[in-house]
């Protein structure tokens, strides 16, 4: 193809120039063909892209279609139950709730219910009427002097830099109206976090917003910001589900002068957070750091976030809690399925414990060390729907955080471009032209409605199960598809006999 392009191209360009000169018209045609041919010659002799080298000019179509592949997949190929990491039916539910539209569906479920992976709620024939009041939880143990009354469902950590200024403003205004908190992410507190909503200030390994020139923790800066009225909680990020043990990455293209000023770094450079903290190196050091931050903040709730990896390390933290008598006010458990951070695929796909086994492990371990009553457990990592929230509560979570669901409420279309500054909806980009498409007034309302309607559905599900409060939510409220195998053998071999067959397929 390359040789044909070079040989036939020069013939075609020469012929069009001769014709144009003879008729003294349509000079734009040979000019255009000359430009295309020049581009093709460049493609044929460059060494970076084999496709363009072998297929000059035509190779660009391959890159174009690759760039719009996620959108093409969504619009023309995927079914309601397809799509990763979130299927279309879940995204559609978020969009409808965010727009405050009816979220009902017609003609029944599209899920395969006779399957081992099916999971649902055991409803009661003595169902209750759902309560209107949305659930709230007190955060702050015996060592905390400024406890916080938090919503059960809140915005998980997403930094300014990862998200645009208008996205952060929309999230914070929505949080203010809905009376739930907005986690800042590890990028520091920006002016766009200060729209009146409650904040959980996250402190990562880079200590952005509270670091000195060498990147070490600066207690004076921390005290200055942690005592702000909007800051209700402080979260130390040990690791996150999207990339446990890797540290954060802010691409240089997203590191604008404004972001650099907030983070106290050099603008334009790719900023990589260290994989671990420099302020401590063991469990005792972590707990002393928790105590230090609590004192500097004036007694506000302080906890830490981690994705469970080596279980012995978490047990060691529990041992040191009892030895030092220092207790965090909360622990956020981030499942390995979390995904708002850019990371190598091996870290996203193969490192860390998923949320469900992690929650079970953490709760059992805390109970074994008589610590469960001293702190709150927060679940995060694909906690998107009302069923996800109740499932997390049933496994021991006191509260839930979600990031990508709130991104959907802002208009995110799952284009999978969060890490290259080309988010088409203006949510996860610093491109001013793209950000202009995001209207703060409209999107903040959608954030508010998504939160409200999701928790309202939680209340309805609890009532349908015959429960009256979240304290009554436990694992017995749920049924799983693998339970049907036993039912089929005992009672309904003629009706449910095909369940085993489908489960194996």
DSSP secondary structure, 67-132, as one string: HTHHHHIIIII--TT--SSS-HHHHHHHHHHHTT-----SSS--S--SSTT-EEE---TTPPPPPS
d(CA 207, CA 215): 7
pLDDT above 90 covers a percentage of the chain that reads 54
d(CA 174, CA 447): 5
Q: Quickly state the pLDDT bin for 473 (edges 50, 70, 90).
A: very high
Q: Span 369-375, mean pLDDT? A: 96
pLDDT for 213 equals 82
Question: Which single residue is written with the structure tokens 């130390």?
Answer: 236
Helices and strands counted in the chain (H then E)? 20, 14
pLDDT for 79 equals 67
Q: 201 forms bridges with which residues in the sheet?
A: 234
Token pair for 382: 């694909």
Q: Span 438-466, mean pLDDT? A: 95
For 290-302, how does the pLDDT look when each residue is reduced to its tens digit (9 = 90+)? 999 999 999 999 9
Question: Which single residue is written with the structure tokens 């429960």?
Answer: 467
Token pair for 192: 């766009």
Where is pLDDT greater, at 211 or 244?
211
Q: Compute CA distances 443 → 95, 171, 407, 435, whole Å.
A: 11, 8, 10, 12
Dihedral (Cα; 105, 110, 114, 119), 10-degree rounding: -60
pLDDT for 190 equals 93
**217: helix, coil or strand?**
strand
H helices within 306-370, ranges in order? 311-324, 345-350, 355-368
pLDDT for 358 equals 93
Token pair for 463: 């009532």
For 92-127, how does the pLDDT look when each residue is reduced to its tens digit (9 = 90+)? 889 999 999 987 777 777 777 777 777 888 999 999
Where is pLDDT greater, at 26 or 66?
26
Q: Taking 60 as the threshold, does the pLDDT of residue 493 lie above it? A: no
Q: Taking 60 as the threshold, does the pLDDT of residue 131 lie above it? A: yes
Q: Quickly state the pLDDT bin for 491 (edges 50, 70, 90).
A: low
pLDDT for 280 equals 94
pLDDT for 324 equals 97
Q: Measured in whole angstroms, how far is the alpha carbon of residue 301 from the centre of its chain?
A: 23
- φ, ψ dihedrals at 346, nearest 5°: -65, -35
Q: Which residues contact 36 (CB under 8 A, 6 or more apart)?
A: 57
Q: Span 59-80, mean pLDDT? A: 74
**200: helix, coil or strand?**
strand
Q: Measured in whole angstroms, how far is the alpha carbon of residue 462 from the centre of its chain?
A: 26
Question: For residue 480, what is the enclosing H or E element?
Answer: strand 478-480
d(CA 107, CA 118): 19
Q: Span 319-328, mean pLDDT? A: 97
pLDDT for 54 equals 83
d(CA 248, CA 270): 10
d(CA 384, CA 287): 31
Q: Span 213-227, mean pLDDT? A: 92
pLDDT for 486 equals 62
Q: Quickly state the pLDDT bin for 483 (edges 50, 70, 90).
A: low
For 226-266, how does the pLDDT look when each residue is reduced to its tens digit (9 = 90+)? 999 999 999 999 988 767 767 767 778 778 888 888 888 88
Token pair for 208: 């952005």
Q: 402 forms bridges with which residues in the sheet?
A: 155
Token pair for 387: 């069923």
d(CA 189, CA 201): 7
Q: Taking 90 as the threshold, does the pLDDT of residue 88 lie above it? A: no
pTM: 0.83
pLDDT for 92 equals 86
Q: Span 193-217, mean pLDDT? A: 92
User: How does the average pLDDT of the chain come out, rounded?
Assistant: 87
Comparing 59-68, 110-119, 401-410, 449-458, the range with the smallest average pLDDT is 110-119
Q: Taking 80 as the threshold, does the pLDDT of residue 129 lie above it? A: yes
d(CA 337, CA 362): 17
Closest CA to 100 of 459, 410, 384, 450: 450
Comparing 43-52, 274-283, 376-385, the range with the smallest average pLDDT is 43-52
Q: Which residues contact 258 (CB under 8 A, 6 or more apart)?
A: none
Dihedral (Cα; 380, 382, 384, 390), 10-degree rounding: -60
Q: Span 330-351, mean pLDDT? A: 78
For 135-179, how does the pLDDT look when each residue is reduced to its tens digit (9 = 90+)? 999 999 999 999 999 999 999 999 988 899 999 999 999 999 999
pLDDT for 229 equals 96
Q: For each of the domains in the chain, give its residue range(s) and CATH number, in order of start.
A: 2-67 (no CATH), 136-477 (3.20.20.70)
pLDDT for 270 equals 82
Q: Taking 70 as the threshold, does the pLDDT of residue 414 lie above it? A: yes
Question: Which single residue is written with the structure tokens 């008729």?
Answer: 23
Helix 283-296 and helix 311-324, axial crossing angle in degrees, nearest 10: 60
Token pair for 196: 């009146």
For 48-65, how does the pLDDT look when each residue is reduced to its tens digit (9 = 90+)? 888 888 888 888 888 787
């Amino acid at each position: 193809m390359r040789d044909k392009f070079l040989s036939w191209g020069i013939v075609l360009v020469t012929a069009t120039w001769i014709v144009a000169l003879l008729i003294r018209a349509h000079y734009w045609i040979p000019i255009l063909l000359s430009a295309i041919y020049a581009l093709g010659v460049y493609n044929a002799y460059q060494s970076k892209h084999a496709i363009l080298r072998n297929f000059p000019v035509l190779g660009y179509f391959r890159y174009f279609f690759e760039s719009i592949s996620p959108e093409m997949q969504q619009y023309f190929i995927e079914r309601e139950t397809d799509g990763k990491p979130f299927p279309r039916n879940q995204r559609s539910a978020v969009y409808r709730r965010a727009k405050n539209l009816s979220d009902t569906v017609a003609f029944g479920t599209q899920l395969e219910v006779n399957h081992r992976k099916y999971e649902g709620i055991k409803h009661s024939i003595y169902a209750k009427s759902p309560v209107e009041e949305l659930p709230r939880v007190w955060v702050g143990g015996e060592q905390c002097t400024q406890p916080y009354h938090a919503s059960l469902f809140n915005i998980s950590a997403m930094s300014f830099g990862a998200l645009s200024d208008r996205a952060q403003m929309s999230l914070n205004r929505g949080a203010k109206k809905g009376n739930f908190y907005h986690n800042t992410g590890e990028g520091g507190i920006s002016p766009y976090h200060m729209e009146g909503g409650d904040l959980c200030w996250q402190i990562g390994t880079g200590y952005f917003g509270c670091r000195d020139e060498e990147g070490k923790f600066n207690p004076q800066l921390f005290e200055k910001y942690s005592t702000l009225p909007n800051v209700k909680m402080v979260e130390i990020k040990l690791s996150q589900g999207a990339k446990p043990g890797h540290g954060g990455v802010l691409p240089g293209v997203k590191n604008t002068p404004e972001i650099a000023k907030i983070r106290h770094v050099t603008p334009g450079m790719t900023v990589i957070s260290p994989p671990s903290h420099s302020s401590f190196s063991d469990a005792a050091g972590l707990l002393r750091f928790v105590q230090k931050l609590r004192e500097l903040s004036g007694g506000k709730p302080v906890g830490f976030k981690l994705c469970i990896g080596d279980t012995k390390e978490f047990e060691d933290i529990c041992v040191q809690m009892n030895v030092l008598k220092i207790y965090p006010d909360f622990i956020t458990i981030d499942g390995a399925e979390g995904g708002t951070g850019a990371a190598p695929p091996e870290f996203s796909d193969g490192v860390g414990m998923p949320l469900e086994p992690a929650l079970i492990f953490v709760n059992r371990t805390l109970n074994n060390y008589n610590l469960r009553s001293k702190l709150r457990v927060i679940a995060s990592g694909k906690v998107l729907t009302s069923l996800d929230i109740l499932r997390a509560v049933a496994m021991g979570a006191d509260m839930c955080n979600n990031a990508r669901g709130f991104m959907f409420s802002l208009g995110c279309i799952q284009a999978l471009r969060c890490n290259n500054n080309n988010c088409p909806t203006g949510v996860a980009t610093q491109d001013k032209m793209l950000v202009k498409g995001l209207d703060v007034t409209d999107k903040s309302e959608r954030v508010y409605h998504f939160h409200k309607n999701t928790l309202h559905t939680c209340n309805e599900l609890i009532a349908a199960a015959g429960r009256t409060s979240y304290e009554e939510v436990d694992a017995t409220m749920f049924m799983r598809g693998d339970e049907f195998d036993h039912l089929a053998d005992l009672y309904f071999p003629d009706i449910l006999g095909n369940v085993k067959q489908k489960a194996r397929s």
